[in-house]
Amino acid sequence: MSQVLLDRMPWPEAEKSIKEARAVIVPIGSTEQHGYHMALSVDTVVCRYVSRALAERTGCVVMPALPYGYAWSMAGYPATVSLRWETYVAVVKDIVLSLRRQGARHVILFSGHNGNVAPNKLVMRELLDEYGSQNVWSMSYTDIKRCGKDILKSELWNGKTFHASEVETSIMLAIAPALVDMTKAVCEYPEIPDDFELRATSWHKVGCSGVYGDATIATAEAGHKFLANWIGELEAMILTILQ
């Protein structure tokens, strides 16, 4: 299959591809702040890139990326757009059901934004309860520390968060450097409130720049190496579940 992007196909070819592909990948991003140095489209750019790479390796096809997600934690920053939880779930369910009616064998919800992971689980649960759909899968970032071993130099904020810091900045330098201005990159590790995990906290009340970690040491080389590990893990997962 030479072309994997459904939006580049005329409808007869897309119809055939949806039915014959091992799975249809639905990239889901976000329109969300990523510091002073990167574009709002980071999550969408990344999920589109990774989805295409996975499709080319696994015999899948890719839907156009959805550029909006559940971004409540960043909604306090200007220009960030967040769908309500129920809106997100309804939209993604409709996409899956439409693909299901058109003969898709499997649908993979691939998120480039961590905020979409939890509602994606609800999407899968409701599709199973309401329609018996067991061929819907959800994927996103795998283990950041494992994929970044001997590659990433900085610590993750609060031990797990990498928003707009070395990880994402390195990836963007590797795949979309025109959307990164390293002269504006900062290192910021906001103090973590004691009750941060215990109640709803808008992140803009914790941080300032929108970077949670160190973006200043990011490199394209690190981005390429991280992507190779991450895509390799995802490829193995897809080949396992679709065998």
SS3 call for 7: helix
Sign of CA dihedral 124, 129, 131, 133: positive
For residue 1, the model assigns a pLDDT of: 57
For residue 212, the model assigns a pLDDT of: 96
For residue 194, the model assigns a pLDDT of: 84
| 204 — pLDDT class (breaks 50, 70, 90) | confident
For residue 192, the model assigns a pLDDT of: 86
Amino acid letter for position 115: G
Q: Provide the whole-model pTM.
A: 0.96
Q: Residue 116 pLDDT more than 60?
A: yes
Determine the Cα–Cα distance for residues 194 and 155; give it in Å rounded to an integer: 19
Report the share of the chain in percent with pLDDT over 90: 90
Q: Residue 140 pLDDT more than 60?
A: yes
Q: Residue 193 pLDDT more than 90?
A: no
Determine how β-strand 187-188 pairs with β-strand 136-139.
Answer: unpaired
| 206 — pLDDT class (breaks 50, 70, 90) | confident
Class level of CATH domain 6-241: alpha beta
For residue 217, the model assigns a pLDDT of: 98
Domain ranges of the chain: 6-241
DSSP class per residue in 125-188: HHHHHHH----EEEE----HHHHTTTT--SPPBTTTB-TTSHHHHHHHHHH-GGGB-GGG--EE
Determine the Cα–Cα distance for residues 169 and 193; give it in Å rounded to an integer: 25
Average pLDDT, the chain: 96
Among residues 71, 70, 136, 47, the alpha carbon closest in space to that of 97 is found at 136
> Looking at residues 86-92, what average pLDDT do you find?
98
Q: What is the pLDDT of residues 12-66, one digit of tens each?
A: 999 999 999 999 999 999 999 999 999 999 999 999 999 999 999 999 999 999 9
Give 209 or 208, the one with higher predicted confidence: 209
| 146 — pLDDT class (breaks 50, 70, 90) | very high
